[in-house]
Every structure is written in structure tokens, then in C-alpha cells.
Structure 1
Amino acid sequence: MTFSEKVHYARIKLGYSQEKLAQELHVSFATINRWENGKTEPRNMAIILFSKFCEDNNINFSSLEEDETYGTNK
């Protein structure tokens, strides 16, 4: 699963809008939108913070495999 897919997956799983996720992560809506659409890749610190946010919300970020899409293998 790509980073953009992970962001989308986590957001949908939590029932958040892009705006709500941006507020929770203390980033702009545009940042979430670019991450989710694969237009930009976050810096390492943002990846760490997003990973911690996922873990705090019972989403196992580290187990989302690169070839996995929403819990099923391609």
C-alpha cells in the first residue's frame, strides 16, 4: 500500500473528512489532499507523526504492506 493509500485508508476508517484529519495532524487541508492524491510525499517527521497518529487510533500503520489494498492482497 502506498503512503497515499495509507492516508486514505486511515481517514476513511476513522470516518474523517480531509479537513478533520488535517486538524488532527496540525497540517493544512491542502497537505492532506496532496498526500492522499499522491502529489507529494511527506517528510520523514510527518511520516513518523502520521504513524503514531494511526497507532493511537488502533490502525496498525506498520503492518499495512506495500502490496496490500484495504486489507486484501492484489
Structure 2
Amino acid sequence: MSGIKLDIHNKAFPDQVKYVRMVLQLSQTELAEQIGVSYATVSRWERENRKPQLAMLGKFYSFCLRNGIEPENTEQGDQI
């Protein structure tokens, strides 16, 4: 099954988070609950007040994959 592509090269992380929420029609609270972080963490990610730790990036991108949103690096032309 081909999922939605998330261009991780040309989108800043805050924009990626907002895009995923928009596509999945989730509030910040709903996304936070599904990833296992606080609402405040998602809010800070979107406002660029906090850069996610590597473990949190893993949770976010795993969540994306589980929901049919595939990270893609369009500059390289390869899926990640």
C-alpha cells in the first residue's frame, strides 16, 4: 500500500508535525497522546521552542509510518 509521502528534506520539523496533524486531522493533544509525549511537547515542537531528542524523533516517525505517512528525502529521491 502506498502511503502519503512526507518530504523530510524540504520541511522543517515544526512544519512536518503540523502537516501530519493536518493530514490525520488530529489536535496537538491527540497527537501527543498517540506518540506518548505531553501536549506541551508537541506545542513546543510546532513553535520551534524545542528540538526533539533522537528518541522522540523515532516515536514521531514510527507514528507516521503506522498511519501511512512515509518519510521521503526528495533531494536524494530515496525513501527512508
Give the TM-score normalised by the residue count of structure 1. 0.81
Q: Higher Cα Rg: structure 1 or 2?
A: 2
Q: Structure 1 residues 10, 64: closer, same or farther in 2, change over 3 A?
A: farther
Cα contact 1:11–1:18 (8 A) shared by 2? yes
1:40 and 2:50 matched: yes
Cα contact 1:6–1:64 (8 A) shared by 2? no
Q: Structure 1 residues 64, 34: closer, same or farther in 2, change over 3 A?
A: farther
1:60 and 2:70 matched: yes
Q: Which amino acid aligns with 2:40?
A: A
CA distance in 1, matches of 2:73, 2:27: 21
Greater fraction strand = 2
Q: Which is bigger in relative contact order (C-alpha 8 A, separation at least 6)?
A: 2
Q: CA deviation at 1:64?
A: 5.7
CA distance in 1, matches of 2:51, 2:21: 17
Greater fraction helix = 1
Aligned mate of 1:28, from 26, 38, 41: 38
CA distance in 1, matches of 2:64, 2:74: 15
CA distance in 2, matches of 1:54, 1:36: 16
Give the TM-score normalised by the residue count of structure 2. 0.75
| CA deviation vs aligned residue, 1:10-56 (integer Å, no higher than 9, x gap) | 01100000010011011111000000111110000110111110011
